[in-house]
């Protein structure tokens, strides 16, 4: 199974900038966007940053109380005879008080120091409670470790060009009731106004009872598809992007998991198809070769069928204008 998980960031429709023909909200991606909300920030920040933030907060809190103790160093009892406590002694006294260590050597002996100790003891309880709650929230979150193929292809399937991409469950645990939704986001102009339109892409199979290994996601590009009649140049001109969202239920944690990715026009491979991953290792042994997960092979150019295909029981709509071929 793949050791690395490809993380793709979906676009946001706020302050978008163009890069490589695709709209991105760079300043809104990542954990930096949560800095105004401390709780979300502490959950979104990476573990090294989380631990450094806790350590920095602990240090700053002790330094603040050290300055308060420094206003009355003589109010801290337990100093050796003939010696006066230093600011460094006051700092370690604050550490002992904040952590409720209480070695018994240094102790408050004045009203001011007793008041500061009272306030610091309260802050110590709150600090431990908040830190424990944040750490538990981070550990208890369920995350889907999925790998999406680096590209999406337009390849033939049942006589129609079909948008295809792959999804792999890196953990190989069972994700119950897995569901995938895909949408096409692209620019449109109406009455002189430019807007970003998002339309759903119906999938051949959009749910799986138990998702454990790999999922080949397909959208048939027929006359009813939003992609019908669009070539690469048109997709790039309209800054199109395919947005994909996965959700399921972790069978072990019994918690919902989510994952998102996106494909820009540059990620579409027209006239290519994914390489077969299935390999027979024996008469009754089937193997999935994940080294071919992102590999594609060239194929003959595929044009759209002249006659639109309609499902059973559907009314036949008027034939649309002749579309341009893919590629």
Residue 197 and residue 256 share a domain: yes
3-state secondary structure the chain: CCCCCCCCCCCCCCCCEEECCEEECHHHCCHHHHCCCHHHHHHHCCHHHHHHHHHHHHHHHHHHHHHHHHCCHHHEECCCCCCCCCHHHHHHHHHHHHCCCCCCCCEECCHHHHHHHHHHHHHHHHHHHHHHHHHHHHHHCCCCCEEECCCEEEEEECCEEEEEEEEEECCCCCEEEEEEEEEEEEEEEECCEEEEEEEEECCCCCEEEEECCEEEEEEECCCCCCCCCCCHHHHHHCCCEEEEEEEEEECCCCCEEEEEEEEEHHHEEECEEECCCEEEEECCEEEECHHHCCCEEECCCCCCCCCCCCCCCCCCCCCCCCCCCCC
Verify that 133 and 152 share a domain, yes or no: no
Same domain? 158 vs 207: yes
pLDDT digits (tens, 9 = 90+) for 164-218: 999 988 877 788 889 999 999 999 887 878 888 899 999 999 999 888 888 999 9
Over residues 144-169, the pLDDT tens digits come to 688 899 999 998 888 889 999 999 88
Domain total of the chain: 2
Q: What is the pLDDT of residues 21-58, one digit of tens each?
A: 444 444 445 555 666 788 888 888 889 999 999 999 99
- From 140, 171, 190, give the residue that closes a domain: 140
In a domain, 206, yes or no: yes
324, pLDDT greater than 80 = no
CATH number at residue 127: 1.10.287.70
Domain carrying residue 179 = 143-298
Q: Are residues 174 and 92 part of one domain?
A: no
* 327 found inside a domain: no
Shared domain check, 162 and 104: no
Looking at the fold, whether 293 and 156 belong to one and the same domain comes out as: yes
For residue 188, the domain's CATH number is: 2.60.40.1400
Q: Determine, yes or no, domain membership for 10.
A: no
């Amino acid at each position: 199974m793949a050791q690395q998980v490809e993380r793709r960031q979906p676009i946001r429709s706020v302050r978008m900038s163009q890069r490589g023909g695709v709209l991105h909200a760079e300043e809104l991606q990542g954990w930096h966007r949560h800095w105004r909300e401390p709780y979300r920030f502490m959950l979104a920040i990476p573990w090294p940053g989380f631990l450094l933030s806790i350590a920095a907060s602990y240090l700053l809190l002790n330094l603040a109380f050290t300055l308060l103790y420094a206003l009355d160093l003589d109010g801290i009892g337990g100093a050796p005879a003939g010696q006066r406590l230093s600011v460094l002694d006051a700092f370690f006294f604050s550490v002992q008080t904040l952590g409720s260590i209480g070695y018994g050597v240094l102790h408050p002996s004045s009203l001011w120091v007793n008041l500061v100790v009272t306030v610091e003891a309260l802050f110590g309880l709150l600090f431990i409670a908040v830190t424990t709650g944040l750490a538990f929230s981070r550990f208890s979150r369920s995350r889907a470790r999925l790998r999406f193929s680096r590209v999406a292809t337009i390849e033939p399937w049942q006589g129609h060009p079909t948008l295809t991409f792959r999804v792999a469950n890196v953990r190989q645990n069972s994700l119950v009731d897995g569901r995938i939704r895909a949408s096409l986001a692209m620019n449109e102009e109406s009455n002189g106004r430019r807007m970003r339109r998002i339309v759903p892409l119906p999938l051949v199979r959009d749910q799986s009872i138990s998702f454990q290994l790999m999922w080949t996601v397909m959208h048939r590009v027929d006359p009813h598809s939003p992609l019908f009649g669009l070539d690469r140049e048109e997709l790039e001109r309209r800054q199109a992007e395919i947005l994909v969202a996965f959700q399921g239920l972790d069978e072990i944690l019994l918690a919902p998991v989510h994952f998102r990715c996106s494909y820009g026009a540059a990620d579409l491979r027209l006239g290519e198809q994914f390489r077969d991953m299935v390999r027979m290792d024996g008469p009754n042994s089937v193997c999935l070769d994940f080294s071919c997960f992102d590999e594609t092979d060239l194929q003959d150019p595929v044009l759209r069928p002249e006659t639109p295909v309609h499902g059973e029981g559907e009314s036949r709509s008027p034939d649309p204008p002749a579309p341009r071929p893919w590629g």
